[in-house]
Structure 1
Amino acid sequence: MDLLSRTGRRIVGLAAFVALASGTFVPAAHAAPESAISATASASPEASSGQDDPVQNPVQKLTIFFERTTASKCPVTFKVHGSFQGLPAGPQLVRYRVVGTEIWKTIKVPAGHGAVYTTVLETLNWDWDWDWDEDGDGETAETSVRIEVRQPDGLTSNALYYFKCGSPPEGATFGETTENVELTTAGGPLAELTADAYLDAVQAISGAEVALVSRYGFSSDLDAGPVTYEDLWATRPSGIAVDVYAMTGAQLKTLLAYQNPSGWVLTPSASLRYTVEGGVVTEITLNGVPVTDTQEIKIAANYTLAGGWEGFPRWEGSTSFYHGGPDDRGALATYIAKNSPVAAPAGDRVTIR
């Protein structure tokens, strides 16, 4: 049984009931039972005949993002931002709720909403909560949130995971990988996958353009198949929050040129590629465009790397820009689940000559 069905109280989501611009509402989907939240909510019998009608299912996709608003990692207060895609032209009413709750809420989407409409859907407060079940083999602390849309097809968002207030039951899974994601001496495919997860976790809210990780703190490969919490813990055990820093292109080149005594270099997300030759960065591109010395770049990383505690220099001269990201294990779980099944990156973003 997957995480969403085993932990209905922790897997939270939102649902939305969408009205036409004329004000005539489409039939509502039945509420998903709290005891068995699934990835797709069932439609109501009276609405089933309209499930393939695009007018009856105006929200085509809903993606949610995490923004922590407290300095403390737990108790934590965070906002859930939602990006709606596929809405028809004109003003819309959208009804939604947190999966596992009873209350439906409504947002008014303005007429000029564009291809994607993004807004804050919820502000949630989680506290440390170790409440063992009657068998003593599982925690019931809140670790995830999902949004449900109140329309006939029962659309649900991706799930956001956050593990600083507790851990899910043993055996809970978070998507799967299609192959072994290797951890090499310098980081390799596993470090690249983690960097991609870091960037994805904070980019929509902070505007981060790249993420950097070091080999430090990684423990083992990520095996092919379903990804469990134990896999996440073994892969990336630190549980440190993802932050965003700003620096110039020149500062970034200096940072990336450094090789520690073990021969490690920093591993970037897919948006960045660079070449080090003779201790100098000779080529570097961001989203395929050469990086200039004067441009400002927003970089996602954890504070231990930025602070100089992972075998690389302290990020002198950088500006602390954003502190709203999730913990790194939560970011990795969210990314794998959202993009499942996940293939291993090529491990070729850095060239050393």
Structure 2
Amino acid sequence: MSASVAEDVTPPPGEGDEPAQNLVGKVTILFERTNPSKCPVTFKVHGSFEGLPDGAQVVQYRLVGTDGWKTVNVPADHGAVFSTVLETLYWEWDWERPGKYSVQIEIRQPDGLRSNSLYYFKCGMPGEEETFGETAETIPLTASGGPLAELVADAYLDAVKDMSGAEVALVTKYGIHADLNAGPVTYEEVCATQSSGLAVDVNAMTGAQLKQLLAYQNPSGWVLTPSSSLRYTVEGGVVTEITLNGAPVTDIQVIKIAATYILMGGWQGFPRWQGSTTVYLGGQDDQGALASYLVKNSPVHAPSGDRVTIR
């Protein structure tokens, strides 16, 4: 469901600084880029509200760091999760104040509820002292990608799945350059892990096409690393086992897959995604997706690195 366009509001007289009750149990925001350039960029901030009482509601919110409250009118039949576009933002690089790189929403209620944070680094850089969540242990990059590549794939999928319906993300070791050390994650480490700053897109292909793609091993012996939703086995140059969310993948099944356009285009040592179709082009850049995921899930543990079996 969606609401009417949000409006700037002033709290009614006599209500004090905060409303009397907590209306929202949880608020999650999502990023949707609406122009092709990295910067300047226009993007929508989608909000999903959970735990609302029955009946029509009025929810007030604001972007963290701003003063003006806005309102969302929630209809009586809102269901368990109510979603709408909260903001449409335009960012360009300001050489004097390069500070636009994150978005978070605050709800006007007694508990001061805040959403997750979204990061986009192409139009602004954080200060050297800022960190982006923390890792509970070192997350290593192995010869074929390993735990760090799995973490990056999970971040890609998390960034676009709710907007696009993506079911899996694929990455390659190409472009991932350094382990994430245990402890707070700096901007320098985020950039070292994902140095290219490429947008995360979504294409669709059949199960048969996916099996053919995953069977490929490049000359260095690398294979494609999936998000946690996918597991596969390659034996003798053929995918012999493959499951999506625990269920076997059929040849005619259509699967929506997140990745960067250079992987899809065949420029990372793997074949071009021939026959796939474009589903979604609105994702964050890969650095922002990773930072958003780290902060959202902190402290982050290393994935096990066992999603792909080579025999």
> What range is the shorter-chain TM-score in?
over 0.9
Q: Provide the secondary structure at the position in 2 that maps to 1:157.
A: coil
| Residue equivalent to 1:286 | 244
Q: Provide the secondary structure at the position in 1 that maps to 2:176.
A: coil
The CA deviation string for residues 219-271 of structure 1, in whole angstroms up to 9 with x for no partner, is: 11000100010011111111101000110110000000000111100000001
Deviation of 1:27 after TM superposition, in Å, equals 5.6
Of residues 299-308 and 110-119 in structure 1, the stretch that sits farther from structure 2 once superposed is 110-119
Q: Counterparts of 2:190 and 2:94 in 1: how far apart (Å)?
A: 21
Q: Counterparts of 1:128 and 1:260 in 2: how far apart (Å)?
A: 38
Q: Counterparts of 1:153 and 1:170 in 2: how far apart (Å)?
A: 31
Deviation of 1:28 after TM superposition, in Å, equals 4.1
| Residue equivalent to 1:145 | 103
Of residues 108-117 and 326-335 in structure 1, the stretch that sits farther from structure 2 once superposed is 108-117
The CA deviation string for residues 298-342 of structure 1, in whole angstroms up to 9 with x for no partner, is: 000000100000010000001121110011000000000011111
Q: TM-score, normalised by structure 1?
A: 0.83
| Residue equivalent to 1:102 | 67
| Residue equivalent to 1:43 | none
- Among the aligned pairs, what percent are the same residue? 71
Instruction: Describe the shift of the 1:117–1:28 C-alpha distance in structure 2 as closer, same or farther (beyond 3 A).
Output: farther
| Residue equivalent to 2:3 | none
5+ residue gaps, structure 1, are 1-13, 20-24, 30-46, 51-55, 133-139
Instruction: Describe the shift of the 1:105–1:285 C-alpha distance in structure 2 as closer, same or farther (beyond 3 A).
Output: same
The yes-or-no answer on 1:242 pairing with 2:200 is: yes
The yes-or-no answer on 1:338 pairing with 2:303 is: no
5+ residue gaps, structure 2, are 1-5
Match runs of 1:158-177 below 5 Å: 158-177=116-135
Q: Counterparts of 2:124 and 2:60 in 1: how far apart (Å)?
A: 30
The yes-or-no answer on 1:64 pairing with 2:22 is: no
Q: Counterparts of 1:283 and 1:144 in 2: how far apart (Å)?
A: 40
Match runs of 1:151-300 below 5 Å: 151-300=109-258
The number of residue pairs the alignment matches comes to 303
Contact 2:23 2:59 in 1 (8 A): no
Deviation of 1:171 after TM superposition, in Å, equals 2.4
The yes-or-no answer on 1:120 pairing with 2:97 is: no
RMSD: 1.9
Residue identity matched to 2:202: V
Deviation of 1:176 after TM superposition, in Å, equals 0.3
Deviation of 1:106 after TM superposition, in Å, equals 0.9
Residue identity matched to 1:118: S
Deviation of 1:26 after TM superposition, in Å, equals 7.2
Contact 1:242 1:326 in 2 (8 A): yes
Q: Counterparts of 1:172 and 1:206 in 2: how far apart (Å)?
A: 30
Deviation of 1:166 after TM superposition, in Å, equals 2.2
Residue identity matched to 1:131: E
Residue identity matched to 1:81: H
Deviation of 1:141 after TM superposition, in Å, equals 2.8
The structure 2 residue matched to 1:84, chosen from 38, 42, 49, is 49
Residue identity matched to 1:72: S
